[in-house]
Amino acid sequence: MSVGLISGSENTAHFTLDPRTKLALVATVCTIMISGRVGGIMTVIHPILALVPFVLLLFSRRVKAAVCYMIAYAAAYSMISFVMPATSGIISILIGATAGIIYRMMPSLITGYFVVNTTKVSEFNAAMEHMHVSTKITIPMSVMFRFFPTIKEESSAIKDAMHMRGISSLRNPMEMLEYRLVPLLMSVVKIGEELSISALTRGLSGDIKRTNICKIGFHFPDLVCFLLCIVCWICFVLHMGGIV
Amino acid sequence: MNQQSSKLQAKDLITVGIFTAIYFVIFLACAMLGFIPIFLLAMTFYGPVITGIPFMLYLTKAKKFGMVTITAVICGILMFVFGMGYFTMITALICGLAADFILKAGDYSSKKNTTLAYAVYSVWFIGNYIPLYLTRESYFASLVSGYGQEYVDTLRAYTPGWMFLVLLAACFIGGLIGAALGKAVLKKHFVRAGIV
Amino acid sequence: MIQIENVTFTYNNSEEKGNLKNINLSINQGEVVLLCGESGCGKTTLTRLINGLIPWYYEGELTGSVKVADKEIREQPLHTLSQQIGSVFQNPRSQFFNVDTTSEIAFSCENQGLPETEIQRRIRQTVSLFHIGNLMDRNIFHLSGGEKQKIACASVSAGEPEIYVLDEPSSNLDVTAIDDLRDIISCWKAAGKTVIVAEHRLYYLMELADRIIHMRHGEICHEWTSEAFLKMSQAEVEKFGLRPASLKQICGIHRFGAHSSGSYKVRHLAFAYKGEKQSLNIPNLSLPHSAAAAVIGKNGAGKSTLLRCLCGLEKKCSGEVETDNKTYPLRKWAKKCYLVMQDVNHQLFTESVLDEVVLGTDSTDMEKAENILNQLDLLPFKERHPMSLSGGQKQRVAIAGAIFSGKDILLFDEPTSGLDFRHMEQVAGLMQQLKRQGKTLLIVTHDPEFILKTCDNIIHIDNGSLTEQYSLDRAGIAKLLDFFELR
């Protein structure tokens, strides 16, 4: 059972993808979907890429999430294709906006979410090291991911305290901002210092080359994903060139 | 006898990680409102204002070259992973580096420089809107299938070319105000508490 | 092994306490040394000298020499020093760098660049030595405080240093976790390692410590062996400002409180966290007026949950409270409660103590606020920023806020965690003062001395339900000491 970058999720997937494959998938889905090119072969590529998150979620046993995503996507698609042309004016715009966001952004968002949720911090580090990404990026990034749950914990404790003190109902927005942020920042700084000391006294150094016991490597599912990415990119480039 | 060298040590990298985390979380919280499309535009202004508070605190600890750049790059990468396109990575790198240079020029202690640096840094967010302007026609054409002709027409009407400069200015001015706000909070709380 | 000669150290940051003067100390290999003393005496600073945090992290003026294995500390960078000296700190929550346990244990070794097979071997060895097989491959955020601290120790241990430095490692731990910690330290001792522990809670180290060194105002004052220490009477121990180390020194603390008039009868308390079937189920609980009840139980038993439910933070909790022959729903009664959290930093919001006291009320009765501050010895600090105060003072500010808001039932979550004897006494005195003012207190705590000084009855929680509720008469004290394994 491995533990995701954003803590809490434990991976019980049928297969595990190498983090670099996941990054490649994210890069592919995000760039191509966002660019929003239509027509030609993109009418085929788009649905394929939209299915990628669905398949990933399914295979990592997040069936409920997979189904929700599919439903949301299908709903957005049908809104755009059927409901919107039938309406006009402000309603059309609103539908276009909300459904449009789901339709365009969801695949990338969900793929990103999947990657972040199923990659161990050490896997991520190992992949970065293999790709020779400097420690100047990897150390801050792994600290950052490790810190997200802590921020959530602190923030929720502060929210509770605000409730206790009777200052949680909406009043002067400046005050609310102050009450919410200042204790959080103080807490974060203190924890950060303690984290720093603990890491430094266990030998963390930007200079020394670290080993990583995390096993990463490419297997058959990775090959399939890479193939898919390559095909999509080729189609995309050809489409841009006006060929397909 | 401390590492006074300007090379980034593990201690500095951890600081970058921590503050990038809190900056990004607060930024994301602001952006949550951005699901309403109009707010996405307003984000260019109030995002930098609110995130000025954590960032000013960060700047009291980021006294070496490269720390702000790394923060920017990481934010850019995160935006990309969450599906907001690759332009943010470029704008982040440029704005982060520029901010770092400005800070260094002020020797990390000039008040004016920190304000200016943060304002310049805040411009990174504009990366999200570059597709809208750079590849305008094709972008709109592509939007039609996603959002519908009417939406596109309205969007087009609301975002004339000069709007880009307005958004850019909004980021920058938001940054200036955010820096002032951050400094005020620093003075009111963090300095008096002995954290700074 | 460790030679400290003529060391004087002053922190650059004037907020830090614990400057050192004229320290001369020599520690041989294989010794287990216990550093004790009041807060601010310098024991933490001394540990920082040994593990290299001074001068590499904490800045200040350092004179004299600190040598480990005949080499000066200040001439070696921190990552080299960490191969010889491992450090464990007070707060289990902020010591881990990774999110999963196995990677965390490997952390030290990975940083040293050791080959993978070697790292795996060390992990296996450490896991079997500390019996933590059940903690492998888990999310650290889901572990209890004691388990986190075990992982921290394992992580340091896997790096195979010769010297271990621990700074108040038991502060946030319950009885079972402290036992585990003691076992770990005895493993290290058996392996011939040198261990230095700075602590307030002395009892768990009595059998292991070879030397007990007492510090005051930055200087070393006394040294004892553990037999000599145990021979001291309670009065002598208290004079040094130290916590009792054995049963003999604890007995006689308790003063049996006066009978109270009436009580709050809490009934049908039921609550479940999301995803759990039942987190709290208490059919009957009695809280005598103007008295202090201690809530004890193992970690994870539901003590904090109980407090959170009683003060209304858990909205899904159901129950009712009967008082003065009237029954109120829990939510209404909860408005009379005020929770002082374990981490007081979460509860302080404003920029001055005075503002903090009146926060949340619409009152502008500054005179009343100042009176309360005066009662709590906080009046000189009224314009200070709450976060600039010491831990104990911050706690008193939170209490001032409670009193100002007129709430009668005060709930405390671990108010004496990590406090030395004097400060614990101060808190105990404050509790007595609150009782005299008619407040009803409910205190979650692991601190037996504090309970004996302050509380009148005990509420024992286990697995979300009430095991027992008894008052602190003779028989009660015996039960209490049994629970804390002090017999």
**And the tokens for C254?**
């308790």
Nearest to B193 among C56, C57, C388 (CB): C388
Report the residue from A96, A151, A182 with minimal CB separation from B22: A151
Task: Give the closest of C107, C123, C139 to A8, CB-based.
Answer: C139
Q: Does A158 touch chain C (CB under 8 A)?
A: yes
Evaluate if residue B55 carries a pLDDT over 90.
Answer: yes
pLDDT at A9 over 90: no
The 10s digit of each residue's pLDDT in B93-147 is 999 999 999 999 988 888 899 999 999 999 998 887 776 666 555 556 656 655 5
Q: Residue A1: pLDDT above 50?
A: no
Can you tell me whether residue C154 is helix, strand or coil?
helix
Q: Is C346 on the interface with A (CB under 8 A)?
A: yes
In a domain, C258, yes or no: no
> Closest Cα of chain B to C277: distance in Å?
32
The per-residue DSSP string of chain B comes to ----SSSPPHHHHHHHHHHHHHHHHHHHHHHGGGGSHHHHHHHHHHHHHHHHHHHHHHHTT--STTHHHHHHHHHHHHHHHTTS-SHHHHHHHHHHHHHHHHHHHTTTT-HHHHHHHHHHHHGGGGGGGHHHHHTHHHHHHHHHHHH-HHHHHHHHHH--HHHHHHHHHHHHHHHHHHHHHHHHHIIIIIIHHT--
Nearest to B115 by CA among B183, B162, B21: B183
CATH number of the domain bearing residue C124: 3.40.50.300
Residues 6 or more apart from C361 whose CB is under 8 A from it? A166, C404, C405
Q: Does residue A139 sit at the B interface (CB-CB below 8 Å)?
A: yes
- Residue C239 to residue C249: CA distance in whole angstroms: 12
Contacts of C386 in chain B (CB under 8 A): 193
Q: Which residues contact C177 (CB under 8 A, 6 or more apart)?
A: C144, C145, C146, C147, C149, C150, C170, C299
Same domain, C58 and C91: yes
Chain C contact partners (≥3 CB pairs within 8 A): A, B
**C337 and C449 share one domain:** yes
Instruction: Tell me which chain B residues have a C-beta less than 8 angstroms from the C-beta of C79.
Output: 10
Please check whether residue B187 touches C, CB under 8 A.
no
Chains that touch A (3 or more CB pairs under 8 A): B, C
Q: Which residue range is the domain that position C59 belongs to?
A: 2-250
Tell me, yes or no, whether C180 lies in a domain: yes
Helices and strands, counts by H and E, chain A: 9, 2
Q: In this structure, which amino acid lies at residue C427?
A: V
Q: How far is CA A118 from CA A8, A19, A121, A141, C198, in A?
A: 10, 9, 10, 16, 40
**Band of pLDDT at residue A6, cut at 50, 70 and 90:** low
Q: What is the pLDDT of residues A174-216, one digit of tens each?
A: 888 889 999 999 999 999 999 999 999 999 987 777 888 877 7
Task: Tell me how far apart the alpha carbons of residues B136 and C144 are, in angstroms, rounded to a whole number.
Answer: 55
Would an 8 Å CB–CB cutoff place A105 in contact with chain B? Answer: yes
Last residue of a domain, one of C250, C282, C315: C250
Q: Which of A121, A182, A208 sits opposite C79 (nearest CB)?
A: A208
pLDDT tens, C260-281?
678 888 888 889 888 788 888 8
Q: What was the pLDDT predicted at B52?
A: 94
- B105, C156, C434 from C129: Cα distances, Å: 55, 13, 47
Partner-chain contact A202 C349, CB within 8 Å: no
Nearest CA in chain B to A32: B85
Measured between CB atoms, does A15 come within 8 Å of chain B? no
Collapsing DSSP to helix, strand or coil, C42 comes out as coil
Beta C292-296 vs C440-444: how paired, if at all? Answer: parallel
What interhelical angle do A89-118 and B136-147 show, nearest 10?
100
- Strands in C457-462's sheet, in edge-to-edge order, are C337-340, C409-413, C440-444, C292-296, C457-462, C465-471
d(CA A148, nearest CA chain B) in Å: 6
| pTM, rounded to two decimals | 0.88
C68 shares a domain with C47: yes
CA A17/CA A42 separation, integer angstroms: 26
State the average pLDDT for chain C: 88
Token reading at A49 = 């890429």
Residue C423 CB neighbours (<10 A): 19
Q: Which of C250, C284, C313 is the last residue of a domain?
A: C250
The length of chain B is 196
Same domain, C237 and C268: no
Label residue B67 by pLDDT band (50, 70, 90). very high
Q: How many CA atoms lie within 13 A of B49 on its CB side?
A: 12
| Shared domain check, C337 and C205 | no
Both tokens of C345, joined, read: 């930093």
**Of C298, C265, C285, which is closest to residue C470 (Cα–Cα)?**
C285
* Residues contacting B141, CB < 8 A, separation 6+: A38
Tokens linked to B25 = 């979380």
CA distance B165 to chain A (A): 22
Looking at the complex, does the CB of residue A198 fall below 8 Å from at least one CB of chain C?
A: yes
Residue C193 shares a structural domain with residue C47 = yes
Nearest 5°: phi and psi at C416? Answer: -115, 20
At C232-265, the pLDDT tens digits run: 887 888 888 888 777 666 665 666 665 667 888 8
Q: Is C292 exposed, middle or buried (0-12, 13-18, 19+ CB in 10 A)?
A: buried
Asked if C178 and C272 sit in the same domain, the reply is no
Q: Are residues C309 and C430 in the same domain?
A: yes
Q: How far is A54 from chain C (nearest CA, A)?
A: 26
- Model pLDDT, residue A97: 65
Is residue A8 scored above 60 in pLDDT?
Answer: no
Q: Write out chain A residues lying below 8 Å of B139, CB-based.
A: 36
Which sequence spans correspond to the domains of chain A? 2-120+216-240, 134-200
Low-confidence ranges of chain C (pLDDT < 50): none
Q: Is residue C458 domain-shared with residue C361, that is, in the same domain?
A: yes
- 8 Å CB contact between C390 and C6: no
Q: Could you say which of A29, A147, A199 has the minimum Cβ distance to residue B21?
A: A147
Measure in Å the smallest separation between the Cα of B32 and chain C Cα atoms. Answer: 24
Q: Are residues C241 and C372 in the same domain?
A: no
Specify whether the CB–CB gap between B49 and A74 falls below 8 A: no
C105 and C210 both lie in a single domain? yes
The closest CB to that of C89, out of A164, A190, A198, belongs to: A198
For C365, the token pair is 């009765």
Q: What is the pLDDT of residues C141-185, one digit of tens each?
A: 888 888 999 999 999 999 999 999 999 999 888 888 899 999 999
Partner residue opposite C119 with nearest CB, options A2, A198, A211: A211
- Kindly report the nearest CA distance between residue A173 and chain B, in angstroms: 11
* Rg of chain A in Å (alpha carbons): 22
Task: Say if the ipTM goes beyond 0.85.
Answer: yes
Cβ distance B189 to C55 less than 8 Å, yes or no, reads no
Our CA-based measurement puts residue C303 at a distance from the nearest CA of chain B, in whole angstroms, of 31
Asked if residue C46 lies in contact with residue C215, where contact means CB atoms within 8 angstroms, the answer is yes
Q: What angle is formed at CA C373 by the lines to CA C367 and CA C376, rounded to 5 degrees?
A: 145
Residue C358: closest CA among C412, C402, C391, C313: C402
Report the residue of chain A nearest B136, measured CA to CA. Answer: A35
